[in-house]
Amino acid sequence: MKLLVCVSFFVATLSFVTGDEPNLFDAFHRPKLNNSSESYKGVNNVSSSSAKHTTLDKAFLQRQDALLFTKVVGYPAVLLPGDGGNQLLAVLNRSEAAHIYCSKSADAFTLWLDLEELLPLAINCFTDNIRLIYDPKTKKSSSPDGVNITVPGFGGTESVEWIDPSHLPFGEYFVGLVNAMVERGYKRGVSIRGAPFDFRMAPNTENAYFSQLKTLIEETYTLNNQRKVVIITHSLGGLFGLYFLNHMEQSWKEKYVQAYAPIASPFAGAAKVMRLFASGDNLDEKVINPLVVRPAQRTYPSSAFLMPSDTYWSANEVLIITPKKNYTVSDFDEFFSDIQFETGKLLRNDTKDLVHDLVAPGVPVFHIHGKNMPTPERFIYDEIFQFPDDQPHVHYGAGDGTVNMRSLKSFLKWKNEQPQQVEEYEIDKGEHLSILQMPQLHQYLLQNVLIPH
């Protein structure tokens, strides 16, 4: 299973405080990087467009004073997950259910990852609860009325180590890396921090999250004897991390950020998102009907955000072949019309320029990604496997199994665009998700980024 776009319907957000989002963080929408530390004051009263965010427990931070390193083993780290990379909780208080067998009310329960939610019939309820509704007036998306989805554990590591709270093997995420760091003297919740986010969303509506992330980095810096922080990301988290760094002042980055270490980041998008929009994605699980999950998958701004970039795919390269028409990066509007999802045009328009130019982050970069994994790059429909409601034939190319190689390598242009170092480390057969458990990854990060000699 690949967690870049395959799992884009398994996403949620933090929702613990109330209040409308003020204009306090409008700096995130400015083309120039012109925000100061003062721009982020008042974070305790800020919520995002789709859900609400919790802030760090000040009492918790006080309790951690005794845990400050007496001997610093390395630079502390903040982990940003990718699609499906953290646990989700849900509370239901709906006036009506999508199906007679779906619950209208429920106390907090695990929505992701709980395999029971993906069983026949149950998955219909799951999909209806996790979908988003787009408001073209505000250009924001929200959950259906009566659905409250939250991400537990901001600032800790549990919810990004395991996406399954029962710790079954199929639910492991950052746990391999965290264990390797702990063995070298790191402490969970002190020198390793988690920063889960609403990855149904794209960065343009997540100002509250970015203010939280800024606070988390500053507090992690303080907790660790004023040691600068390494931002480690996976998949979609790499784009959120880049967007964040692009909107922070250079003086702040030089004080608080030691390095930016994205893992398997789709900097220029991924071709497989086209299949997700057209026919749905069943996570390579035959028991899941992709047409059942498609209505939810289509509604996420993050799905549109991850569409292939017209900078790295040319207008002559066909992404989808059908008997009547072929689609390239120049045909997205027509593509959305033909699959009868007009909202897709609006979502794409909202997100296409957020990191389109791949502005250099202004901090040392260490991108680790896999190679030599067959990766979807073109989808072929015919008279038997019809567009868009059947699953297409797939033509494969180079990449990590989920992200195309041209997207993984697009960051290399930063070598000529910033004075800070820009490094690439490739892992043979490093599949998009399983790379997180590979010792080569752990060793590289520890020796070259976290505890450099």
CA distance 237 to 187: 22
> Does 432 participate in catalysis according to the annotation?
yes
From CA 312, how far away is CA 104, in angstroms rounded?
A: 45
Alpha-carbon gap, residue 50 to 149, rounded angstroms? 10
**What's phi and psi for 434, nearest 5 deg?**
-65, -15
Taking a C-beta distance cutoff of 8 angstroms, is the pair 286, 390 a contact? no
Q: DSSP strand E in 100-169: where?
A: 105-112, 133-135, 140-142, 147-150
Nearest alpha carbon to residue 47 among 140, 157, 163: 140
Q: Of these residues, 198, 400, 410, 442, which one is catalytic?
A: 400
Strand partners, 105: 93
Q: Which of 123, 135, 451 is nearest to 294 (CA)?
A: 123
Measured in residues, the chain has a length of: 453
User: Residue 452: which residues within 8 A CB-CB, separation 6 or more?
Assistant: none
Which distant-in-sequence residues (6+ apart) come within 8 Å of 102 by Cβ? 124, 125, 128
> What residues have CB less than 8 Å from 393, skipping those under 6 apart?
379, 380, 381, 382, 385
Do 157 and 178 meet the contact criterion of CB atoms below 8 Å apart?
yes
- Cα–Cα distance, 26 to 31 (Å, whole number): 11
The maximal CA–CA distance of the chain, rounded, in angstroms, is: 68
83 closest CA partner among 351, 297, 308, 243: 297
Specify the DSSP class assigned to residue 391.
P
Q: Identify the helix (H) or strand (E) that includes residue 380.
A: strand 375-380
At 399, phi and psi to the nearest 5?
160, -160
Active site residue 330: no
Write down the catalytic residue from 15, 49, 141, 235.
Answer: 235
Nearest to 229 by CA among 450, 452, 444, 38: 450
Find the catalytic residue in 50, 432, 434, 442: 432
Indicate if 128 belongs to the active site: no
Question: What's 309's DSSP letter?
Answer: P
**SS3 (DSSP) at 365:** strand
Q: Tokens for 148, please give them.
A: 């409250």
Helix (H) / strand (E) element for 369: namely: strand 365-371
- The C-alpha atoms of residue 353 and residue 345 are separated, in whole angstroms, by 13
Catalytic residue IDs: 235, 400, 432
